[in-house]
Amino acid sequence: MAIRCWVALGIAMMGPMPVIRAAPPIVIAHRGASAYLPEHTLPAKALAVGQGADFVEQDVVASRDGVPVVLHDIHLDGVSDVAERFPGRARADGRFYCADFTLAELRLLSIVERFHHRDGRQIYPGRFPKDEGRLTLATLEEELRFLAGLSRALGRPVGIYPEIKQPAFHRRHGHDLSRLVLDVLARAGHATRADRCYVQCFDPAEVRRIRHELGWQGNLVQLVGGDAADLVAGDGLARIADVADGLGPALDLVVGPDGRTTDLVARAHAAGLVVHPWTARRDDLPRWAGSFDELMERLGAAGVDGVFTDFPDLAVAWRARQPDDGGGR
């Protein structure tokens, strides 16, 4: 049975009801404090840690010369000035791909608040202004060293939560992204289940490969989107638990679009998996949630072990208001 770092007893239910748990959910900063500063920049990560996040997420892709860099996806044109800096470098589909640029070229880019690559409109208009400041991209190794420094300075541990993005795409471009990421993690001392590190990926075959072929001994999480609910149906959770320690489901798989709580958390716990759903946002609430606190209440009542959020400060504040059951963390 997979090892669980935080234990919670989930109760299958059709609506909110009390749940017995040993600790309140951990707070995972989704791409950093991305509600306040451009995602996956070091300032966004520092703010997240300052706001009390327990873990900080790193989405990882590879540069043309095979360096793992922290970036949400394989495209550059929705979070940077690549179209202005390198005109003519788009592919036939009009997109600019990280895999087409060396690390030296990537370092020339300004990283900005996420926007629609076709018309330049910000995805979240109320967030950090797209045209303000000049922030830059970091390699995975640089970010891990940065977070280790923050942890030392603050005198408290800061967990890391890297995601391996589109491994099949990277293999087609000559890079084994999983191996590259695991090598960086091992050098940084994040290679066992005792370490405050979870490796996550959407690709079930790659999750299995990471555990068996690449021999990863650390914590491993299977991500599941709302359009892939079949992965957690039937004996799907048992198959996941054969290789993974946790499940990272979309919010709708925990509390459906109709506001009714599913039995997913209870079934995942029965299989020995921790559950860390994504993503809690104050400015993009589910239809059934009237506030961020209501969203957190429902997820907490469902028995989740952690929550990915763009607003780590709000999640930490909500958690601080919960009754202390003495379990601690």
Candidates 30, 117, 190, 276; catalytic one: 30
Candidates 40, 72, 75, 117; catalytic one: 72
Q: Is 170 a catalytic residue?
A: no
In whole angstroms, what is the distance from residue 122 CA to residue 305 CA?
32
Q: How far is CA 253 from the centre of its chain?
A: 16
160 within 8 A of 190, measured Cβ to Cβ: yes
Q: In Å, how far are 117, 182, 247 from 264, measured between CA atoms?
A: 35, 29, 10
Tokens of 75: 């495209």
Q: Is 72 a catalytic residue?
A: yes
Which among 194, 109, 208 has a CA at the least distance from the CA of 159?
194
In whole angstroms, what is the distance from residue 289 CA to residue 16 CA?
12
Alpha helices by DSSP H, the chain: 42-50, 82-85, 103-106, 140-154, 167-172, 177-187, 204-212, 236-241, 251-254, 264-270, 292-302, 312-320
Which among 105, 42, 46, 104 has a CA at the least distance from the CA of 71?
42
* 295 Cβ neighbours under 8 A, 6+ residues apart: 280, 285, 286, 289
Q: Per DSSP, what are the bridge partners of residue 219?
A: 198
Residues taking part in catalysis: 30, 72
